[in-house]
Structure formats: structure tokens, C-alpha cells
Amino acid sequence: MGLTPDWPTRDLLSHRVATTPEATALVDATDGTAWTYADLDAVVNDLVPTLRSAHGSPVTGGEARPRVGIGATTTPAFVAALHATWRFGATAIPLSVSQPAETLRTRLDRLDVGLYLDTADGDQLSAIDWHGRKATVDSALDGDPDHERERSAQARADATWGPDETALILFTSGTTGRAKGVGLTPGNLVASAAASAFRLGVSQADRWYGCLPTNHMGGLAPIVRSTLYGTGVVLESGFDANRTPALMAEHDATGISLVPTMLRRLLDRDWQPHEALRFVLLGGAPASPELLETCQTVGVPVYPTYGTTETASQIATATPDEAFANPETVGSPLVTASVTIVDAATGEPVEAGTVGELVVDGPIVTPGYLDETATEGAMGPHGLHTGDLAKRNTAGKLHILGRLDDAIQTGGETVHPTQVIEALRELPDVADAAVVGVSDPEWGERVAALVVPTEESAPDTDALRASLRERLAPHAVPKVLGTADQLPRTASGTVDRDAVRERLRE
């Protein structure tokens, strides 16, 4: 299912440059260098022969599309490499450049990647033996744009694309070490961008500020969406709480995607949003009520969002007014997301207000995982089973309560970690917390919490438990309490539950 079954027919940049060639496409936040869509188009066209030399003649589509790995830096070079891969007709696989070299090599081999595009001018692959082809593309954006345009105009070789072909493979964040490869189509990306535009709005003057890792959807979505909207994207190679606010203001960024820990660091430095900023899309992890209250006080236009890799980003997003009035909600589903809450045991829909598994359907949903068995297990009559626990109130607003496999079974009782986390965050001595189950021979599992104190000294655990008994059922009060300076997180900002358990064991 798609919004427009016969579109796109080529790579997304080809469609864009034919419409608004002189609009600003890219800005390097550090030095201010800017490229129009015509400039970027010329660079991309000049890169295609590099891919063709590795794979032979242009690809026409279908199951035989080659796979190209791309070093996932948050740079203009990555954007050029991504669009060049699609123009050639290959499936793009953004891969983290921070992972160990051997891990990267293993993933490239497992995915049968024929070419790796280095966007950082010498990454970890140079230190290992890999049988595939490698090319460096960071210098492709150097030189005279007018000269590049002339050379680009001499010959074009745009690949054909259908909306239901696999154009992108991303990996889930893998909070328990089980990352899965997700295939996404041009149709998924277009439907996601359209739905986001309905919720956030789009202006010709928009500039989305990108500083998240581009091997995750949170960092990749602004690049894709800006191309579809014809707006600009400003790229910073990595988030820096001291540097990012000034660069955002300098380049008149109108929007930014952040995870809660990043936003917290900005607010801890007394950040005041600049006048042009109209949205902060906040995802990757739940936003605490305290964080949202601070946003309301300071005037941060925050849009808490819930999404997945499998849905090309957003499923539901709350407006600032909704978030400030009800901090527990992530708002209503977007227009292209059909959401059903089902009983985790029976798969049958449940009534409003009842906790169950969130299932989503619509044109944003992936055709499937690389592992066909995983795809079969995730798809049901109501759509994709997200594995997330949620409830939906009578007004249609969603409340996300954690992962289905996070649920802790202790002494015959079920404890949802999110409810314990919310109770902990209400305590004055607690800045943040993570809650997991740890094995116990008597109870099956014990409720265990890793707490980030508001002060340097650790809070009194007996006092914490006494306060929690006033807020939680006895079986939900953590039997194990540990403290840490910060919670361990994955690259996408979600809490790393395996690392939390290890900390608590220590």
C-alpha cells in the first residue's frame, strides 16, 4: 500500500532537482559551505561511475539490486554517497563508523556488500583485509560547482525505482544485543515524510539541523525528508552541547531531532532557543515529565515522538500543548499509521485504556526483516507487532509503557518497568532511572533499578523504597537498587538494558 502507487520512478534527488534546482540542499554547519540541489545533483552524478565500475552496467531493478555499504557520518559526503547509491540503482546500507573494524567487516560480508563508500577519508576498514571494493567519497564535494554541473550535464544515468523496492537497510538499535536488519522502500520513506509534514508542518524556509548518527532513522530521516520537501538540512558531524546551540542559531535552523539526554544537556547549560526554531522532535527514549516541564518554562517547542526503524521513524507525535498538558502521552498516531492495541497472548484488540502490545499498519511499515523467520513472527492480521506495550485513551492518545519483553514476572505478578521508572522520577533525589528484571530462584525475577541521583552523593536506598511504597504495589518496589552517574545507552539514545543488568550485578 502506498500514497501514490506509481511514484517515485527514479532516485529522490532526481525528482527534486527537476523541480527546485536552485534551492539550498545542504549546509555544512562547521564552515558554512552550502550546496544547492543542482550542485548536489552534479556531485552525485559524478560519483555514479565509481559505483558502476565496481558492479558493471546500471541496475534496472528487481531482486538483483546490489548492496552498497556507506560509512554513516553526519556529513555532506554521506548525503552525496547515499543519493549516488540510489541513482546507481543499489540498496544503501548505512553502517556505524564507530563500531570495531572487525565487526564492520563481518557485517559487510554477511550482507554480501560489494562496495563500501568511505565518507571520512580513511576509516577503520583500512586496518583490515576485506575482499570487497572500497572508495572514498569525502573529496567529491570539493571543486567548482559550475564545472561539476557542466560535466554532470554531459551524461546522466538515472536508475529506475519502484515505490515497493528495497532502497535502504537499517539495523534496529538492539537494546539487548539483537539488532535486526530492516528493509525500507521509497514508498515507506515518502509516506513517513508526508505524515511528518502533516504533524510538524513544512515551510520553504525550513532548515532541519542534523547531528544524530545517520545509521539510525533519527539521523537519516531529516536528509531524506528535506530532499522530498525541497528544504535545506544543516549537518554537524556530531552533537556537542557547548557548540550545537550556537551553530543552530547561526544557520537559522527551524527544526532539530534530539534524544532526551541531548536535550537535557542543552537545558543544563541554560540554553535559550533561538527565534527561528519551531520544533524539537524528541525521540529514541521516553521524555520525563520533569524534562517537559523545563521545556515549557524555557519555551522549547518540543514534540515528543514515538517511532521505530520498521516504520521509517514516527508513528505518533505529541504537539507541545499536548505534551505539557499530559507528559505521559506521545500524542495521536500520524495519518499514515494505523494503530491497534492487542492482547499480547491472544492477539485480539483490547478496549481503550487497556494495556497491550502496539501493532501498526500502513504505508510506513517495512515489507520485512532480512531474516524471513523474523518477518513471519512480527507480521499479523493487524500489521507489524512492535513488541512495545502501550495503551490508548478514549481521545486516541497513545501512552508507551515499555517493551513487551521488559515486563518483569515476579512471584506471579507482572510489573511494567515504565511505571516504576515514573514513580522513581517523581522523587526529589532521582534525576533518572532504568528498571529491569534480574533472575531470582525464589521469585523468578526481582525488580531492579539503576538510579541517577540529582546530587553527587547517593540517595538513601531505604528512604527511596519507603517513598516508592506510597506510590507502587509492594511487588513493584525494587528489591535491588544501584546508582550511576548516567544510564548506559545505545547509539540511538535508548537505554541499554543488558548494560544496566551488568552494572547492577557489579
pLDDT reported for residue 358: 97
| 451: nearest Cα among 431, 478, 465, 470 | 431
Residue with cell string 532526551: 260
**What residues does CATH 3.30.300.30 cover in the chain?**
407-505
Cβ atoms 1, 163 nearer than 8 A: no
C-alpha cell at 400: 508507551
pLDDT reported for residue 459: 81
Omega prior to 273 cis, within 30 of 0: no
CA-CA-CA-CA dihedral for 238, 265, 25, 72, to nearest 10: 30
Could you give the 3-state DSSP secondary structure of residue 209? Answer: strand
pLDDT reported for residue 62: 55
Residue with cell string 523504597: 465
Cβ atoms 310, 288 nearer than 8 A: no
**What is the Cα–Cα distance from 269 to 403, expressed in whole angstroms?**
32
pLDDT reported for residue 413: 73
**What is the Cα–Cα distance from 94 to 84, expressed in whole angstroms?**
13
Chosen CATH of 12-399 out of 3.40.50.12780, 3.90.660.10, 3.40.718.10, 1.10.630.10: 3.40.50.12780
**What residues does CATH 3.40.50.12780 cover in the chain?**
12-399
Task: Name the DSSP letter for residue 284.
Answer: S
Distance, first Cα to last Cα, the chain: 49
**What is the Cα–Cα distance from 369 to 316, expressed in whole angstroms?**
22
pLDDT reported for residue 490: 78
C-alpha angle 218/223/228, rounded to 5°? 120
pLDDT reported for residue 179: 75
Could you give the 3-state DSSP secondary structure of residue 113? Answer: coil
| CATH number of this structure's domain 407-505 | 3.30.300.30
pLDDT reported for residue 426: 86
Per-residue pLDDT 10s for the chain (506 aa) are 445 567 889 999 999 999 999 999 999 999 999 999 999 999 999 999 888 886 655 555 555 789 999 999 999 999 999 999 999 999 999 998 877 777 778 788 888 888 888 888 666 566 556 667 888 887 667 655 554 555 555 556 678 899 999 999 999 865 444 678 999 999 999 999 999 999 999 999 999 999 999 999 999 999 999 999 999 999 999 999 999 999 999 999 999 999 998 999 999 999 999 999 999 999 988 888 889 999 999 999 999 999 999 999 999 999 999 999 999 899 999 999 999 999 988 999 999 999 999 999 999 999 999 999 999 999 999 999 999 999 999 999 999 988 887 778 786 677 878 888 888 988 888 988 999 988 877 677 889 999 998 877 778 888 888 888 888 888 889 998 988 988 988 766 778 888 998 888 87
| 494: nearest Cα among 236, 63, 172 | 172
Cβ atoms 110, 181 nearer than 8 A: no
Cβ atoms 32, 393 nearer than 8 A: no
pLDDT reported for residue 145: 54
pLDDT reported for residue 129: 63
